[in-house]
Amino acid sequence: MDRSPTNRPPTNRAPPSAHYRFGAFTLDAEAGLLFRGGEPALLGQRAVALLRLLLERSASPVSKDALIAEAWPGLAVEDSNLTVQIAALRRVLEQDGGAGWIETLPRRGYRYVGPPAKRVGADASELPRAPALTVPEKPSIAVLPFEYSGGPSGDAAWFADGMVDDIITGLSRLKWLFVIARNSSFVYRGRMADVKQVGRDLGVRYVLQGSVRRSDNRVRINAQLADSTTGAQVWAERYDRTLDDVFALQDEIALAVVGAIEPSLRRAEVERIRRKRPDSLDAYELVLRAQPDVDSGMPDRAATALPLLKRALALDPAYALAHGLAAMAHHNLFLRAGLREEDRQASVRHARLALEHGRDDALALTFAGFSLGMDAHDRAAAFAAFEAALALSPSTALGFILGSVVHSWAAEAEPAIAWGERAMRLSPFDSWAFAAFGSQALGHYLLERPQEAAKAAYQAVQANPGHSINYVILIGPLVALGRLAEAKAAAARVMELQPTFRFSRQFAGVDCAPALAEKLGAALRKIALPE
């Protein structure tokens, strides 16, 4: 059958103010909502458009062409799309005995044969209104079904749905994030959803939308994250891949999306919290405000974060992430502000409390593992924590980043590179990217690849130019390449950022493996960095 727009019959659309009451239902055509009693059924726009036309022509046949023109104006679609939307309508109506209210007319179309539909005015006082859902204080997200097209019939659909299921599962593993269940978010299938309306309907602050396009053996996925309170875009990315292994690709994209969303959501939440008065913050918000200072790796900013974390722990002594961040803050102070024993002990103490209280919190386990590996010099305990974190949430990029750091100072070159690369695939713009680049630099340096090492070290410097250890790492490959002037400039920068720096004390502080200490130490001595 020809589905071109020019061959479709004209439609007789209801005015925007039209409301219809039938049985226990009321259709608000303007808002695009079907109410059952006072509760919204949350049908998609296309299903609402179909129902409106069927109610307008109550008891009369409505052709497939007319229905398609109403729900998909200007688009050429297959009859199967119409069948899916009619089935969705029937599922909602059958909750009140309306399974047979929409009659199928073989090869012709459909007809509404349910209770008489009474048209009422938009200002009628008896019209139901959707109850306003309160957005929770913790960040909340709904992942809508991705649009799909191309490929053999049904292939793109199950691929898109499977990927969205994986994304919802991955996000649900983040303890600090409230995630709407699939059954609620999938009512928006086939609907051109407005993110602000979705936020009001589901009571969420963030909405993830996307699309999947297949062509031959390639697939392109677009994903966008928006703030439902403002409509502003928080994050967007496009993935273009071949379909050599469709299940592996589905997992890869889902992990990449979750890995990218986690830091993007945290940045958005930090900006939101910064607009609140500091004396009105609860434990969660205090932790969120402290985290960027901890993530900087800077000892002065770590000192700024610790009072906030102390306040959070006074409110909630079992707050695992607050303990994990406190462990990292003390680590920053220990390693880069005098190697004081009290900071090392505080780092380890908070790490153990994070483990005790955070068995289901991937981020808390990650910070705990790092402090145990770097400050307690217990690498077995460190990787037990990292592996537990990644089992909980395989998309936790920070687990791979900090794991790569522990590998690198243990002179485990290949794992350091592999973990760092994995982290950057998950979260290429992570605030901790400098640490992953530094780990890769040390790995390449140990494997006698000074060119690759220098490139990675310069990336670390660019990602965090205020971190003295990035310049220490850079010196090794520069000396190996004979670029001594650059190496001396890097050494001068180390002393400018950390005047008390002595590399032998630094190596002892992180329990640097003998092979790395010998190799990197020789380069540092050559350009006269204080030992």
Domain of 73: which CATH number? Answer: 1.10.10.10
The pLDDT of residue 30 is: 61
Asked whether residue 403 is assigned to any structural domain, the reply reads no
Contact 323, 354 (CB under 8 A): yes
Which among 90, 120, 150 is the end of a domain?
A: 120
- pLDDT tens for each residue of 315-360: 999 999 999 999 999 999 998 888 899 999 999 999 999 999 988 8
Judgement on whether residues 299 and 257 belong to the same structural domain of the protein = no
Domain assignment of residue 126, yes or no:
no
pTM of the model: 0.61
CA–CA gap between residue 242 and residue 309 (Å, rounded): 46
Which position has the token pair 């243990």?
Answer: 410
Give CA 282 to chain center in angstroms: 23
Both 387 and 416 in a single domain? no
Q: What whole-number distance in Å separates Cα of residue 510 and Cα of residue 405?
A: 10
How far is it, in rounded angstroms, from Cα 329 to Cα 323? 10
Same domain, 60 and 149: no
Dihedral over alpha carbons 47, 203, 358, 430 (to 10 degrees): 80
Tell me the Cα Rg of the chain. Answer: 29
Strand partners, 27: 20, 34
- Dist CA 270 CA 265 (whole Å): 9
How many Å separate Cα 135 from the centre of its chain?
A: 18
213 with 93, same domain? Answer: no
- Is the residue at 131 inside a domain? no
The values of phi and psi at residue 7, to 5°, are -95, 5
Same domain, 257 and 293: no
DSSP per-residue codes, 367-428: HHHHHHHHTS--HHHHHHHHHHHHHH-TT-HHHHHHHHHHHHHTT-HHHHHHHHHHHHHH-T
pLDDT in tens, the chain (531 residues): 333 333 333 333 333 445 788 888 888 766 567 777 766 666 667 888 889 889 888 878 898 888 888 888 877 777 888 888 888 888 888 877 788 899 998 878 899 988 888 876 544 444 444 455 566 667 888 888 888 776 554 556 667 777 787 788 777 777 677 888 776 677 777 666 788 888 887 888 888 888 888 777 788 888 888 888 888 888 888 888 887 766 677 777 777 777 777 777 777 777 776 666 666 578 888 888 888 889 888 888 999 999 999 999 999 999 999 999 999 999 999 988 888 999 999 999 999 999 999 888 888 999 999 999 999 999 999 999 999 988 887 777 889 999 999 999 999 999 999 999 988 877 766 778 899 999 999 999 999 999 999 999 999 998 888 888 999 999 999 999 999 999 999 999 999 988 888 999 989 999 999 999 999 999 999 999 998
165 shares a domain with 154: yes
Give the whole-angstrom CA distance, residue 499 versus residue 286.
32
Can you give the pLDDT at residue 19? Answer: 75
Spatial distance between the Cα atoms of 9 and 64, rounded to a whole number of angstroms? 10
Burial of residue 2 (number of CB atoms within 10 Å: 0-12, 13-18, 19+): exposed
Same domain, 268 and 286: no
- Would you state the structure tokens that stand for residue 193, as one six-digit string? 């959803």
Residue whose tokens read 């269940």: 181
Q: Alpha-carbon distance 176 to 214, whole Å?
A: 34
Report the 10 Å Cβ neighbour count for 244: 8
pLDDT at residue 160, as a whole number? 79
Residue 132 lies in a domain: no
Burial status of residue 488 (CB atoms within 10 A of its CB: 0-12, 13-18, 19 or more):
middle
What b/e sequence results for 445-484 when a residue is b if at least 16 CB atoms lie within 10 Å of its CB, and e otherwise?
Answer: bbeebbebbbebbbbbbebbeebbbbbbbbbbbbbbeebe
Domain final residue, candidates 213, 239, 273: 273
Phi (first) and psi of residue 275, to 5 degrees: -85, -5
Pair (157, 98) in one structural domain: no
Q: Which of 85, 120, 155 is the last residue of a domain?
A: 120
The number of distinct structural domains making up the chain is 4
Which of the 8 DSSP states describes residue 6?
G
Same domain for 148 and 247, yes or no, is yes
d(CA 392, CA 398): 13
Instruction: State the amino acid at position 190 in one-letter form.
Output: G
What pLDDT score was predicted for residue 273?
Answer: 65
Distance between CA atoms of 299 and 305, rounded to whole angstroms? Answer: 10
Any domain includes 234: yes
State whether 268 and 319 are in the same domain. Answer: no
- Structural tokens at position 26: 């009321």
In a domain, 127, yes or no: no
Q: Measuring CA to CA, which residue among 313, 314, 291, 317 is closest to residue 304?
A: 291
Question: In a 10 Å sphere around its CB, with 0-12 CB exposed, 13-18 middle and 19+ buried, how is residue 245 labelled?
Answer: exposed
Burial of 343 per CB tally in 10 Å (0-12, 13-18, 19+)? buried
Task: For residue 55, give the nearest of 34, 38, 83, 31 by alpha carbon.
Answer: 34
pLDDT at 236: 84
C-alpha to C-alpha distance for 477 and 490, rounded to whole angstroms: 12
Say which residues have a Cβ less than 8 Å from residue 183's Cβ, sequence separation at least 6. Answer: none
What are 152-173's pLDDT values in tens digits? 545 566 677 777 877 887 777 7
Q: At 525, which CATH number?
A: 1.25.40.10
Is 23 within 8 Å of 100 (Cβ atoms)? no
Residue 402 included in any domain: no
Tokens of 47: 């299903």
Is the separation of the CB atoms in 210 and 235 below 8 Å?
no
Q: Which domain holds residue 68?
A: 5-120
Residues 144 and 221 reside in one and the same domain: yes
pLDDT in tens, 4-62: 333 333 333 333 445 788 888 888 766 567 777 766 666 667 888 889 889 888 878 89
Q: Which of 208, 41, 191 is nearest to 141 (CA)?
A: 208
Which pair of structure tokens corresponds to residue 369? 């593992």
Instruction: Give the closest residue to 206 by CA, choosing from 224, 192, 221.
Output: 224
Residue 119: helix, strand or coil by DSSP? strand
Distance CA 276, CA 280 (A): 7
pLDDT of residue 201: 79
Helix (H) or strand (E) holding 461: helix 450-463
Kindly state whether residues 268 and 284 are assigned to the same domain.
Answer: no
283 found inside a domain: yes
